[in-house]
Amino acid sequence: MHHLSLKAIANKLTKKEISAVELIQYFLDRINTHDKTLNSFVTVCEEQALQQAHAVDQLRNKKKLPYYAGIPIAQKDIFCTQGIKTSCGSKMLDNFIPPYNATVIEKFNQAGFITIGKTNMDEFAMGSSNESSFYGAVKNPWNITKVPGGSSGGSSAAIAARLAPVATGTDTGGSIRQPAALCNLTGLKPTYGRVSRYGMIAFASSLDQGGPMAKTAEDAAIMLNIMAGHDAKDSTCANNAVPDYTANLENPIKGLKIGLPKEYFSAQLDSNVAKQIEQVIQTYKNAGAEFIEISLPSSELAISAYYIIAPAEASSNLSRYDGVRYGYRCEDPKDLTDMYERSRSEGFGSEVKRRIIVGTYALSAGYYDAYYIKAQKIRRVIRDEFLTALNKVDVILSPTTPNTAFNIGEKVNVPVSMYLSDIYTIAVNLAGLPAISAPAGFINGLPLGFQLIGKHFAESTLLNAVHQYQKLTDWHTQSPEQYA
Amino acid sequence: MEWDVVIGLEVHAQLATKSKIFSGASTAYGAEPNTQACAIDVAMPGMLPVLNQEAVNMAIKFGLSTHSTIASTSIFARKNYFYPDLPKGYQISQFEHPIVKNGFLDIILNDGQTKRIGVTRAHLEEDAGKSLHEDFHGLTGIDLNRAGTPLLEIVSEPDLTSAEEAVIYLKTLHSLVRYLEICDGNMQEGSFRCDANISLKPKGEKKLGTRTEIKNVNSFRYVEKAINFEISRQKEILESGGNVSQETRLYDAVSGETRAMRSKEEANDYRYFPDPDLLPLVVDELTIKSIKNQLPELPADKRERFKVQYELTDYDANNLVASKELADYFEQVCSYTEATAKLAANWVMGDLMALLNKDGLDISQSPISSQSLAELLDRISDNTISGKIAKSVFEAMYAGEGSADEIITQKGLKQIVDPAVITTFITQVIKNNPTQYEQYKAGQDRLFGFFVGQVMKLSQGKVNPQLLNQLLKKQLDS
């Protein structure tokens, strides 16, 4: 049951081979059994989920329900859920129960999905290991001494351990793709503006994008069909037509032009990683794809630019957490300044504080031009280089991460080393492009992912390319033995 | 030593939109605290701003009527600072790229001269909430009803040279935004408030002196007082060899003085940057054109039309167009009455405004409708009553005693125009005052007025004055 695709589960529900209550209880039982170890959920919505499942079962006898009605989904705890605590992985919001749903949540509700729980994450999505969460580190189901990636590490661990069939994630610099890669999943970061950010707690507004995390490209396509689309409540949300992302999955990819950025395949690339990626390339060649070398000369500047722009926006986005209206407030404040200082000092963790300080500095008078403006210029150059390259090719292929999952605790005190784990993913956010990560095999028992980057709004191409790859490989069908 | 005074004004005009600039919450004034603050205004996590197009249209209206450039692309920026009534920890404003720039407003000085005042820029921004320090026993209450209310900040060039000019500019601007119906102009409720930048320099000197900024003055009278106080304060400092320090000052209406609030060194670093939650604001030519077509007649145009159409003086025309309601009232009176426009202007601006001002009413609250006033003016011009009697009829009308005709009939105030009746009065008066009659006859012409007064007294003021003059002269000189 827990290995089934969304279609297969929906089929069982429709044919009444299983009830929604049984299905939800089945996954709740798995969570109860395994999540004490993994810590992938901040909140498990046992009661609400069972209630909703019961309602689905009742309604199914009376009328036609949405095709996926009754299927459980794990929601990253960055998406506001009405009546359900939404912490964003922070002590600051440990007591926060939103009176509204994020648009993404609303859309999954409309489609009949049942939120089974809220997944753990790096605090305010700042991190690549899920170690910065107020609720503690999440363990990688493939090896519990390893990180599951971040910031959507709870979502990736939950799917990898088959505690939920699918989950949502958000990606500001790789937070969907990197944990998908480290946990042997398929994760898609859509084009900036494809999915509404309304009710999705902001980290860096110009980079944040919600997207699907799943076992397969097919499931990701089904999810994106639900998530994508214009939302009048988000001014940055795109207003162009949403295709059926499942429609082109079966198209052959003969003649697909795939670019290989020479900068990404330098001598620095780990040889084991290079070997796995070479296999991916071979598979695509066998399917008739053409490979073309391309260049992204400024890609080495991406991390520096990102770590100016993202913290700058974050420093401002996180100003609202001041202890005045909701969220954490320190005990017995002496006066206003004391309340601000202690509420924020006590409510935020160290990585969040580090980025607020960096961002505040970058925006300060006298430094703004040298940092923020310069970073924006680099961002423009990076975007232009991608667009030039994508004129010649349909998609760009790279490893998703420089390596497989690292040890919990290994990079916590070396922020820059942690930041470098997003070296292949970050530039994509700066350019606003869609990109997908999919399983590329294993190194010493740990999964590795490859990334395909597409043109703006070309999610269909990416899903098609990965689906065809997944028909030729079985990496994505493998799951960790302990959770079999 | 003689000094040049340099003044620039920043006016915050609250735009008269139904909902807030970035949310759907109502902007109505005076609701229970925090009942008009939605999740966006409270800055709940994940909430996003969506720009109110109506506010944009209003800014464009203002720009077009001040001959400004409407930016085809303008940018919303975040102004970051912590304050409990600023929910997001930043204010969304426009910084480097405002929607309106490089315009001007012509003002008419008291000597009748026109002076052109530059409008540097006008930009859209959101208001903050209110911190309430009373009634909370040492704590502070926060009311976010006002948070997110749209403001148009209108910045003038430092073209103003006295408190008097500053007030004229302010009144002209106030009149304009009300004509455009983009701001209700209510200064007490804070819908129209002013910051004044003031500096002095030796007469003729090119280089500007150090300025101070007086924050949030909310009446024309206070603006004048605050600026005058600040001018003499700076003059005193400079003349005693001191330096004015660049600072923000507050005007205390009770003491009539300004006092320092914060110095330049203490000023916030607002860390402005473009708001990534909002796209650049693009205004196309078509929108501008359609708004231009909907613009009402503006005060300056109306003033010129009044001068021609109603043959009014500069002074009368200028006063009548100060508010659109007043101008409309005047035009309605003119349309109903046979009397001259000059007479209508005198009554509207004189007697009517005097009583309204005394009662703190504005023209829209006048107890006398334009049609009723017209009726009274008709009775004056058709000689039913004299101007003097008209004043008492007017007062009775104002007090709600009825229409002009009703009051005239009830009180028997109809003017006496029958020469025979008037002659009887004259004869009676001459008979009653033989001494004065002798003196007049002996050459004391100035006693003519005495006889007019006596006839008026005897007739309870009802005799037609022109006829009386004629007949009295004839009879005295015969």
Q: Tell me if A342 is assigned to some domain.
A: no
Q: What is the pLDDT of residues A370-421, one digit of tens each?
A: 999 999 999 999 999 999 999 999 999 999 999 999 999 999 888 888 888 8
Looking from the CA of B352 toward its CB, the CA atoms found within 13 Å total: 27
The answer to whether residue A268 scores a pLDDT higher than 80 is yes
For A193, the closest chain B residue by CA position comes to B277
For position A112, what pLDDT does the model report? Answer: 97
For β-strands A72-76 and A114-119, DSSP reports them as parallel
Q: Left, alpha or beta for A153 (phi > 0: left; psi -120 to 50: alpha)?
A: alpha
pLDDT at B244: 94
Domain presence at residue A433: yes
Q: Is residue A274 part of a domain?
A: no
The verdict on a CB contact (< 8 Å) between A319 and B45 is no
**A151: annotated active-site residue:** yes
What's the domain count of chain A?
1
With contacts defined as CB-CB under 8 Å, which chain B residues touch A197?
46, 48
Interval B22-27 mean pLDDT: 96
Query: What pLDDT band is residue B477 in, cutting at 50, 70 and 90?
Result: confident
Residue A150 is predicted with a pLDDT of 94
More reliable by pLDDT, A46 or B443:
A46
ipTM of predicted assembly, 2 dp: 0.96
- Rounded to 10 degrees, the C-alpha dihedral A9/A15/A16/A19 comes to 20
The whole-angstrom distance between residue B113's C-alpha and the CA centroid of its chain comes to 19
A278 CB-near residues (< 8 Å, 6+ apart): none
Q: Which of A235, A344, A360 to mutate to test the interface with B (most CBs of B within 10 A)?
A: A235
> What share of chain A has pLDDT > 90, as a percent?
95
CA distance A237 to chain B (A): 10
Say if the Cβ atoms of B80 and A316 lie within 8 Å: yes
- Which of A99, A234, A319 lies closest to B88 in CB terms? A319
Residue A15 annotated in active site: no
Q: Does A298 fall in a domain? A: no
Residues linked to residue B160 through DSSP beta bridges, in sequence order: B7
The pLDDT of A155-165, averaged and rounded, is: 98
Q: What is the predicted pLDDT for the residue at A43? A: 98
- How remote is the C-alpha of B91 from its chain's centroid? 29
Question: In this predicted structure, what is the pLDDT of residue B289?
Answer: 97
| Assigned domain for A223 exists | yes
pLDDT digits (tens, 9 = 90+) for B305-342: 999 999 999 889 999 998 899 999 999 999 999 999 99
The segment with the largest mean pLDDT, out of A282-296, B353-367, B378-392, is A282-296
Classify residue A377: in a domain, yes or no. no
The most confident of B230-239, B379-388, B416-425, B428-437, by mean pLDDT: B230-239
Q: In this structure, is residue A457 part of a structural domain? A: yes
Q: How far apart are CA B169 and CA A250, in angstroms?
A: 71
Is A72 inside a domain boundary?
yes
Q: Which one of A77, A324, A360 would you mutate to disrupt binding with B, by most B Cβ within 10 Å of its Cβ? A: A324
Active-site residue identified among A12, A40, A76, A189 = A76
Q: Is the pLDDT of residue A189 over 80?
A: yes
**Residues in chain B closer than 8 A to A312 (CB atoms):** 273
Q: Tell me, what's the pLDDT at A290?
A: 98
pLDDT confidence of residue B201:
96
Q: Say yes or no to pLDDT of B44 above 90.
A: yes
Q: Which of A461, A441, A463, A460 is nearest to A450 (CA)?
A: A441
Query: Residue B433's pLDDT is what?
Result: 92
pLDDT of residue B249: 94
Q: What are the C-alpha distances in Å from A72 to residues A46, A113, A118, A480, B205?
A: 11, 6, 12, 21, 77
pLDDT in tens, B231-287: 999 999 999 999 999 999 999 988 988 999 877 666 789 999 999 999 999 999 999
- Euclidean distance between CA atoms A224 and A243, whole angstroms: 10
Using the beta-carbon criterion (under 8 Å), do B278 and A93 form an inter-chain contact? no
pLDDT bracket for residue B382 (50, 70, 90): confident
- Averaged pLDDT score across all residues of chain A: 97
Provide the token pair at B417. 């125009």
User: Between chain A and chain B, how many beta carbons pairs sit less than 8 Å apart?
Assistant: 99
Query: What pLDDT was estimated at residue B462?
Result: 85
Query: What per-residue confidence (pLDDT) applies to A152?
Result: 98
Average pLDDT, integer, range B189-197? 95
The arithmetic mean of pLDDT across residues B420-434, rounded, is: 91
pLDDT in tens, B194-243: 999 999 999 999 999 999 999 988 899 999 999 999 999 999 999 999 99
The parent domain of residue A214 ranges over: 6-256+392-483
Three-state SS across chain B?
CCEEEEEEEEEEEECCCCECCCCCCECCCCCCCCCCCCCCCCCCCCCCCCCCHHHHHHHHHHHHHCCCEECCEECEEEEECCCCCCCCCEEEEECCCCCEEEEEEEEECCCCCEEEEEEEEEEEEECCCEEECCCCCCCCEEECCCCCCEEEEEEECCCECCHHHHHHHHHHHHHHHHHCCCCCCCCCCCCEEEEEEEEEEECCCCCCCCCEEEEEECCHHHHHHHHHHHHHHHHHHHHCCCCCCCEEEEEECCCCEEEEEEECCCCCCCCCEECCCCCCEECCHHHHHHHHHHCCCCHHHHHHHHHHHCCCCHHHHHHHCCCHHHHHHHHHHHHHCCCCHHHHHHHHHHHHHHHHHHCCCCHHHCCCCHHHHHHHHHHHHCCCCCHHHHHHHHHHHHCCCCCHHHHHHHCCCCCECCHHHHHHHHHHHHHHCHHHHHHHHCCCHHHHHHHHHHHHHHCCCCECHHHHHHHHHHHHHC
Q: Is 70 exceeded by the pLDDT of residue B79?
A: yes
Give the CATH number for residue A218: 3.90.1300.10
pLDDT over 80 (residue A256): yes
Provide the pLDDT for residue B387. 84
- Specify the pLDDT at position B265: 67
Count of other CB atoms within 10 angstroms of residue B254: 5
Predicted pLDDT at B29: 87
Can A460 be counted among the known catalytic residues? Answer: no
CA distance B320 to B95: 37
Residue A155 has pLDDT above 90, yes or no: yes
Chain A partners of B87 at a C-beta cutoff of 8 Å? 320, 324-325
